[in-house]
Amino acid sequence: MQRRKFLTAAVTGLAAAPLAAPALAAGEPEIKWRMASSFPKSLDTIFGGGETIANRVAAATDGKFQIRLFAAGEIVPGLQVLDAVQNGTVELGHSASYYYVGKDPTFAFDTAIPFGLNARQQNAWMYHGGGLELMREFFKDYNIRQIPAGNTGAQMGGWFRKEIKTVEDLNGLKFRIGGFAGKVLTKLGVVPQQIAGGDIYPALEKGTIDAAEWVGPYDDEKLGFNKVAQYYYYPGWWEGGPQLSVYVNLAQWETLPPTYQAILEAACAEANVTMVAKYDAQNMPALRRLVAGGTQLKPYSKDIMEACYKAALELYDETAAANPKFKTVYDAWKLFRDDQHLWFRVAENSFDNFVFAKSAAAASGAAATSTPEASGETAGASAAGGWTRAAIAGVGGLAVGYAGGVAATRARAKPAS
């Protein structure tokens, strides 16, 4: 670092100047903070969001502001990160706020609520729709400043040991499911379990639980769920765009130089956009591998979707009636959501559905043979304009796309068959 040495010399050369000499001022202080993550080190996506932040902060401060990241269980269990930041055990946390709905269901809005916003819409609400202001006011009671710092995109609907065809099949099911969605499913007879990511596999393997959802193909494959459950459902209707948040102990935040505050906030925004990009880039190759390995990919039935939707709306009304904080946020959130859905149906969704239908048609044409996986699944497309409905006619692409992937995967595995 020749430049640094040069500048050090330049500053020391100013020793005879008055004490309050401006320009070429001193650097900021050296600070070492600890960040407790709710996630296991094995997940380079969601645990990796914390690493993105720590690395960027270090690079931006020439290593003077150092954040040491700890995986779930290293300092506190994954589901106690909020408490650890609140009581000052650590200065920082990286978590999903809906883990703490047991304290107050209002936490769910900081992550996702069932049938809520997708990732883009969650960001719109947070950064430019009043969400951040509402959430920061709420988090003050927990001595925390929260900063959006990651998103997984719409998640999968979970792993099941047996097929779930009807609403009745949910009754009595012990299902590891995060956040507010557990309360929705309770209305349909499910016995929800809140278990941190790293602890799900043994519970599913031992049969302590019947089903589990985590995130999506890339993470779920790493956690090995496909080895102990065959059926993989979609979509994860309870988290269309779940946000991860950084928690900063409020008293510690106020001691931070404004430059470090600015750097930390920018690094969190960066983690927000790059985490979902990593999920998006990695999920399809992982899903191909899973399907090639025997995983049965299934959409939730219309009946289940409708029953869950109805239960969710009931739960929101009941919760709002009982909890003024929840009501304040929910009322504002609902208006914003309505506008978001209306707007996305115009340009965004009609673009998506057209190109996805074309992609499905191309995949369908590429894979000439039909497959067992093709039954029960149809290609995606429709939307705001009339042309999109016509575009889906006769396209049987989604499962065929996977089958093509499976064939390709198998071909790569057996080059000399």
Residues 190-219 that bind a second copy (CB under 8 A): 216
Q: Any contact of residue 251 with a second copy (CB under 8 A)?
A: no
- CA-CA distance, 158 to 211, in Å (whole number)? 7
CA-wise closest residue to 281 among 158, 121, 152:
152
Stretch of residues binding a second copy (CB under 8 A), selected from 5-13, 79-87, 135-143, 409-417: 5-13
First to last CA, the chain: 56
Stretch of residues binding a second copy (CB under 8 A), selected from 155-163, 170-178, 181-189, 193-201: 155-163
Write out the binding residues for a second copy, residues 270-299 only, by CB under 8 A: 270, 272-274, 276-278, 280-285, 287, 297, 299
The residues facing 211 across adjacent strands are 160, 175
Residue with smaller CB distance to a second copy, 28 or 169: 28
CA-wise closest residue to 209 among 239, 176, 184:
176
Cβ(155)–Cβ(235) under 8 Å? Answer: yes
Q: Any contact of residue 223 with a second copy (CB under 8 A)?
A: no
Q: 209, exposed or middle or buried, with CB in 10 Å at 0-12, 13-18, 19+?
A: buried
In the complex, what is the shortest distance from the CB of residue 200 to a second copy, in angstroms, rounded to a whole number? 18
Write out the binding residues for a second copy, residues 157-196 only, by CB under 8 A: 157
Q: Any contact of residue 126 with a second copy (CB under 8 A)?
A: yes
Question: If binding means CB under 8 A, how many residues of this protein chain bind a second copy?
Answer: 133
Q: Any contact of residue 360 with a second copy (CB under 8 A)?
A: yes
CA-wise closest residue to 122 among 278, 301, 308, 340:
340
**The binder of a second copy chosen from 234, 323, 325, 327 (CB under 8 A):** 234
Q: What count of residues does the chain have?
A: 417
**The binder of a second copy chosen from 251, 322, 362, 411 (CB under 8 A):** 362
**The binder of a second copy chosen from 76, 84, 108, 119 (CB under 8 A):** 119
Stretch of residues binding a second copy (CB under 8 A), selected from 73-81, 100-108, 181-189, 231-239: 231-239
> Per-residue x/- marks for a second copy, 87-106, CB under 8 A?
--------------------
Supply 228's token pair.
């102990």
Question: Left (φ > 0), alpha (ψ -120 to 50) or beta: where does 84 sit?
Answer: alpha
Supply 280's token pair.
């998006």
> Per-residue x/- marks for a second copy, 16-35, CB under 8 A?
xx-xxx-xxxxxxxx-----
Stretch of residues binding a second copy (CB under 8 A), selected from 57-65, 76-84, 89-97, 186-194: 57-65
Q: Any contact of residue 258 with a second copy (CB under 8 A)?
A: yes
Residue with smaller CB distance to a second copy, 44 or 104: 44
- CA-CA distance, 324 to 14, in Å (whole number)? 59
> Per-residue x/- marks for a second copy, 304-343, CB under 8 A?
-xx--x--------------------------xxxxxxxx
The residues facing 32 across adjacent strands are 66
| Dihedral Cα 167, 170, 171, 172, nearest 10 deg | 180
Residue with smaller CB distance to a second copy, 76 or 304: 304
Supply 259's token pair.
């430059």
The H or E element containing residue 148 is: strand 144-151
